């Protein structure tokens, strides 16, 4: 499968980028043992470096976690420009159909406060499993009945409630979800396809997370932000929102990480180099660098996000407008990126069963590795092709839910087989460890999913 190219291409030196800077970035990320999934660098509106680490591919549209927030913010801007509501509207008025009691502080929260993560809350605990399962607009009856501890419009607290609320305000005021609005008004004109947006337990689009989008779709959207909301001479995003979303609306200097302590806009972070970005858990980045007229997209699986940005600033920034290095070999290197497969032995022919208290497995050889049947506690009965020295793709299936994966495996010790299962729709992976005593277990590789351990159907660690 090929992915539509949404942006023109150029060689790095043609737009004033020394390829050595991209090499240095790749070297630095590898030296820090950052597990990367994709990289795309755009300058002057042209893609100059792009790569995905196999088994990830350009056409995959993974979960980008809180990078979704920037997209949700743009949908709010569209709705406001259409006259559906205003930035100064209060939540108690927008939810008047369900709110029957709200204190004086909660009654002051406006749409603009939600955009700036300045709702007055001081803890990220308003969105929780209990309230998220309430039907319709009932969660806001509960949320707005609880007084924030801080000052709306001034107290910053990064919280999911704010963006979740924005998504519901858009839906109720326009009759369309933030995803539907963006597909119609932004994604389709830009050629961005293959997106989806996860919902909460009551089937409301999350807003604060849940967007699945291809790396080039991220790059095309953030290039639109850099271009002031205009593409091919057509205004797609309203001037007021474009101007205000990238302004610093609230201070964030209590955060320890430097690039999270530079202030917050409307669902974007300011950085230490004069630009701004949307980002999501575990290394999903859309970085706007106005001084360089550049956009950088990274997707990854890491909890050390500041280190990723440290490496970008140290390695990549100096490459702009620097004399290029001849014979760079960058295209070949980017084309050969891959995650390491499980190192070990092929082993003898096998047909064995394993189990623990929540999972059962059967491992059988085939010509290219193994077939692993995995029955889990969630009702999943998965038949996975596992490669030896290579990644083989497949799908894990539960009732009403699927997860695309890739797997590699090997015998790593006497009587110890390991399969590495990588989610292609989310920045997560796990190991299946099977031993010759008939036992088995799973363990996360790197960060495990936020929220319930069963997110995307992946079994919890045993």
Name the 3-class secondary structure at 14.
helix
- Residue 274: exposed, middle, or buried by beta-carbon count in 10 A (0-12, 13-18, 19+)? exposed
> What is the CATH number assigned to the segment(s) 12-77+172-335?
3.40.710.10
Maximal C-alpha separation, the chain = 71
Give 405-445 pLDDT, tens digit per residue.
999 999 999 999 999 999 999 999 999 999 999 999 999 99
Give 129-172 pLDDT, tens digit per residue.
788 889 999 999 989 998 999 999 999 999 999 999 999 999 99
- pTM tops 0.85: yes
Residue 451 pLDDT grade (very low, low, confident, very high; cuts 50, 70, 90): low
Give 313-324 pLDDT, tens digit per residue.
999 999 999 998
* DSSP structural state of residue 185: I
Residue 378 pLDDT grade (very low, low, confident, very high; cuts 50, 70, 90): confident
Exposure b/e, 138-173, CB count within 10 A at least 16 = b: ebbbebbeeebebebbebbbbbbbbbbbbbbbbbbb
Q: Provide the pLDDT for residue 328.
A: 87
Domain layout of the chain by residue ranges: 12-77+172-335, 351-457
Q: What is the mean pLDDT of residues 182-190?
A: 98
pLDDT higher than threshold 50 for residue 457: no
pLDDT higher than threshold 90 for residue 454: no
pLDDT higher than threshold 60 for residue 453: no
- Residue 62: exposed, middle, or buried by beta-carbon count in 10 A (0-12, 13-18, 19+)? buried
Name the 3-class secondary structure at 333.
helix
* DSSP structural state of residue 81: H
Q: Provide the pLDDT for residue 460.
A: 41
Q: Provide the pLDDT for residue 401.
A: 84
Q: Provide the pLDDT for residue 455.
A: 43
- CA angle 413–417–419, rounded 5-degree value: 130
Q: Which of 144-153, 193-202, 330-339, 450-459 has the lowest mean pLDDT?
A: 450-459
Q: Six-digit token pair at 342? A: 């499980």
Q: How many Å apart are CA 371 and CA 328, to the nearest integer?
A: 41
Residue 462 pLDDT grade (very low, low, confident, very high; cuts 50, 70, 90): very low
Q: How many Å apart are CA 156 and CA 251, to the nearest integer?
A: 7
Query: Assign residue 74 a region: left if phi > 0, alpha if psi is -120 to 50, beta otherwise?
Result: alpha
What rounded mean pLDDT belongs to the chain?
Answer: 94
Q: Provide the pLDDT for residue 47.
A: 98
Do residues 198 and 209 make contact, with C-beta atoms less than 8 angstroms apart? yes
* Percent of residues, the chain, with pLDDT higher than 70: 96
CATH architecture for segment(s) 351-457: Beta Barrel (2.40)
Q: Provide the pLDDT for residue 450.
A: 76
Q: Provide the pLDDT for residue 3.
A: 59
């Amino acid at each position: 499968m090929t992915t539509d190219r949404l942006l023109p291409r150029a060689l790095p030196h043609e737009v004033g980028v020394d390829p050595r800077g991209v090499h240095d970035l790749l070297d630095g990320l590898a030296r820090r043992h950052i597990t990367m999934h994709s990289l795309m660098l755009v300058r002057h509106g042209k893609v100059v470096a792009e790569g995905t680490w196999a088994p990830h591919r350009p056409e995959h549209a993974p979960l980008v976690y809180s990078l979704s927030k920037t997209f949700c913010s743009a949908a709010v801007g569209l709705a406001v420009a259409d006259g559906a509501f205003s930035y100064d509207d209060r939540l108690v008025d927008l939810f008047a159909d369900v709110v029957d009691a709200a204190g004086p502080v909660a009654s002051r929260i406006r749409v603009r406060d939600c955009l700036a993560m300045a709702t007055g809350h001081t803890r990220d605990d308003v969105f929780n499993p209990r309230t998220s399962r309430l039907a319709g607009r009932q969660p806001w009856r509960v949320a707005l009945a609880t007084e924030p501890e801080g000052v709306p419009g001034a107290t910053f607290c990064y919280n999911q409630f704010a963006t979740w609320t924005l998504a519901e305000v858009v839906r109720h005021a326009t009759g369309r979800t933030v995803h539907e609005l963006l597909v119609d008004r932004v994604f389709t004109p830009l050629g961005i396809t293959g997106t989806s947006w996860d919902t909460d337990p009551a089937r409301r689009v999350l807003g604060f997370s849940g967007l699945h989008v291809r790396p080039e779709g991220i790059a095309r959207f953030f290039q639109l932000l850099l271009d002031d909301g205009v593409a091919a001479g057509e205004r797609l995003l309203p001037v007021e929102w474009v101007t205000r979303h990238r302004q610093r609306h609230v201070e964030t200097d209590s955060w320890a990480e430097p690039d999270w302590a530079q202030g917050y806009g409307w669902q974007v972070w300011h950085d230490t180099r004069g630009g701004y970005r949307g980002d999501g858990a575990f290394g999903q980045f859309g970085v706007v660098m106005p001084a360089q007229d550049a956009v950088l997209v990274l997707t990854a699986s890491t909890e050390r996000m500041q280190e990723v940005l440290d490496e970008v600033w140290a390695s990549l920034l100096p490459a702009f407008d620097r004399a290029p290095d001849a014979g760079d070999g960058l295209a070949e290197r980017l084309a050969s990126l891959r995650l390491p497969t499980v190192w070990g032995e092929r082993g003898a022919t096998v047909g064995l069963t394993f189990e623990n208290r929540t999972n059962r497995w059967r491992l059988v050889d085939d010509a290219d590795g193994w077939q692993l049947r995995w029955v889990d506690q969630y009702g999943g009965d998965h038949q996975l092709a596992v490669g030896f020295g290579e990644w083989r793709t497949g799908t894990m299936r539960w009732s009403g839910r699927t997860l695309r994966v890739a797997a590699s495996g090997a015998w790593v010790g006497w009587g110890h087989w390991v399969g590495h299962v990588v989610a292609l729709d989310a920045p997560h992976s796990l190991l299946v460890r099977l031993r010759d005593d008939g036992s088995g277990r799973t363990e996360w590789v790197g960060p495990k999913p936020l929220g319930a351990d069963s997110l995307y159907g992946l079994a919890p660690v045993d």
